[in-house]
Structure 1
Amino acid sequence: MKRRMQNVFALAALVLLGALGVAQLPGCGGGGTGTAPVGTLKVGLTDKPSDAYQQVVVTIREVRVVPAGMENAADNDPGLPVVVTYATPQPVDILSLKFQQQILGSIVLPAGSYNQVRLILEPNPNGQGATPNNYLTLKSDPLTKIPLKTPSGQQSGLKVLGRFTVQAGVINAIMLDFDPNTAIVVRGNGDYNLKPTGIRIVQPSTVLGSFGSLTGTIAATFKDWSSATVSVMPPTSSVPIASGTVFSSYTSGRWEGPFSAFVPGGSYRVHVRANGFAPYSSPVTNVTAGFESGLGTIPLVPQP
């Protein structure tokens, strides 16, 4: 049994490119020091409103990123860069952010490819009546804290999969975009589970200090698509301002995957590519900072 939340909230690891220019960092080439080139990673949190939920609170102990090839490494592996560790675990009400960014931490780390982000959460306490660390509340009952179960969030961390790149000599960023339709699942016994399968990584190319969102649902009825690449571009440019991978799940007789791209106000086209299907380009759509622009269902058409 699955209950659909009406919002899409995003946890953002922001690698801020372009607007701050190129900054020379230690070990970024030149001088023959022999050190590896590095870039800077900033991690933040952002969200948009929900019609059904008053709060969604997660309590974060640590954020790690995983270099390509180390996907099976233990959380305490010294090869996994730690973006931030909180001496006191940090509770964050994701739904209170509403198109803002809460910076969680910053790290200088080796340039290169990364395939995973791990979110280590504080466990909920045992015992009847104990106040949970991870929970949600309903707008219809805002005083009742319903525990949000995170089975992997304490031991191995919520493992968010997706490839992103840290460039040397600049401040870089990614966005972890939660799809609540698959990230939060309501069990038949009333438990709410948080799973990383509904979270994807998006790598924007600009600072998103004040932004809106483009949302839609990619769908196919007669043929499965395991993943699709979504790119958001200004109509006069071939360079994406945001891009990422969306994974499908089978529901209601079709394969579908919702997406949400957070971008500054302006005009954009959304491009979708999936193996075995014709490429899709949306009409030019205007985005206003602080608001959602919905594209509805994007039907994938199988190629002959």
Structure 2
Amino acid sequence: MVTRKLQHYLIVLLLGVGLLAAGCNNSGSDVGMGTLEVRMHDAPANYDAVNVFVERVEINAEQDTAGWMTISEPQQSYNLLELTNGAYTVLGDTTLEAGTYNQIRLILSREGHSVVVDGEEKSMFVPSGAQTGIKLNVNAEIQEDITYTLLLDFDASRSVVKRGNGQANPGYLLKPVIHASNQAVTGNIDGTVSPVDAEPVVYAIADSDTLASTYADTTDGYFKLIGLEEGSYTVSINPTNEDYSIKDTTDVGVTVGETNELGTIELEQAQ
């Protein structure tokens, strides 16, 4: 039989456990949660396809190698050339505690990458980075109840490297060149190129540096340059059809959160 005194002790013990659990729950609820979304897009390249296999995406709030957290595991191949002209794919999204996250990295498979040249698919080898990942400094500020969208510009034209025939392993290497930006502090430029059969590459240039590029759509000439920081740019239209001349439009302004619509840009016949 349980004595009255023992009952008293049990009641006190249960109350203490309840208060401790409540304290733990309250401390957890004090930490605000925000959302991180990672999008990938691409600059154009002179290939039929550039296929990259992404195993997972990780993020780190620390300054050293500790603290990496997996935010997604796509385990999927992406054709980068399908992610131009404003198109993108979502590599992952997750809920994180509010705070600053310094780095993000893509873990690529050692194999499974390829480039298609003149209709022929050729494998690409990753010389390094499969184990340690492609690290990017982002300093992402995650705020409570707000979605932070990170744009990863995977530059296919600079990432695919052709090896010489005299080397031990001739063929193609994948050496990723990626630029990261916060969509919340960027803007866009769009327009239409005429005539359509000029089939141009469109560049956004600032201080002689090309910061974004895309192909104009081959059916209607539309183009969109995304992920540009606020400032002034030269938009250069470079036809792949030699019957037309290059045309530059200077002092094109970009404002955060807006798209500067250039309208129709008419190209002239080459002299």
Using the size of structure 2 for normalisation, the TM-score is: 0.58
Q: Deviations over 1:152-179 (max 9, x none)?
A: 3421122233433222220111112234
Q: Give the structure with the larger helix fraction.
A: 2
The structural deviation recorded for 1:56 is: 0.7
Which whole-Å CA distance do the structure 1 matches of 2:260 and 2:97 have between them? 35
Q: 1:48 and 1:69, CA in 2 relative to 1: closer, same or farther beyond 3 A?
A: closer
Amino acid at match of 1:110: E
Matched-pair contact (CA < 8 Å) for 1:41–1:107 = yes
Q: 1:283 and 1:137, CA in 2 relative to 1: closer, same or farther beyond 3 A?
A: same
Q: Deviations over 1:227-257 (max 9, x none)?
A: xxxxxxxxxxxxxxxxxxxxxxxxxxxxxx5
Q: Which residue number corresponds to residue 172 of structure 2?
A: 192
Secondary structure, in 3 states, of the residue corresponding to 2:144?
coil
Q: Does residue 1:44 correspond to 2:31, yes or no?
A: no
Using the size of structure 1 for normalisation, the TM-score is: 0.52
Q: Give the structure with the larger strand fraction.
A: 2
Q: Which residue number corresponds to residue 216 of structure 1?
A: 205
Matched-pair contact (CA < 8 Å) for 1:101–1:209 = no
Q: Which residue number corresponds to residue 100 of structure 2?
A: 113
Q: CA RMSD in A?
A: 3.7
The structural deviation recorded for 1:209 is: 11
The structural deviation recorded for 1:35 is: 4.2
Matched-pair contact (CA < 8 Å) for 2:61–2:101 = yes
Secondary structure, in 3 states, of the residue corresponding to 1:103?
strand
Q: Following superposition of structure 1 onto structure 2, how do residues 76-155 of structure 1 map, counting pairs within 5 Å?
A: 79-86=67-74, 89-98=75-84, 99-124=86-111, 133-138=112-117, 141-142=118-119, 144-155=120-131
Q: Which residue number corresponds to residue 228 of structure 1?
A: none
Q: Which residue number corresponds to residue 54 of structure 2?
A: 60
Q: Deviations over 1:178-206 (max 9, x none)?
A: 3446433333344332224x322111217
Matched-pair contact (CA < 8 Å) for 1:158–1:195 = no
Secondary structure, in 3 states, of the residue corresponding to 1:205?
helix
Identity %: 26
Which whole-Å CA distance do the structure 1 matches of 2:182 and 2:51 have between them? 24
Which whole-Å CA distance do the structure 1 matches of 2:113 and 2:71 have between them? 21
Amino acid at match of 2:110: P
Higher CA-based Rg: 2
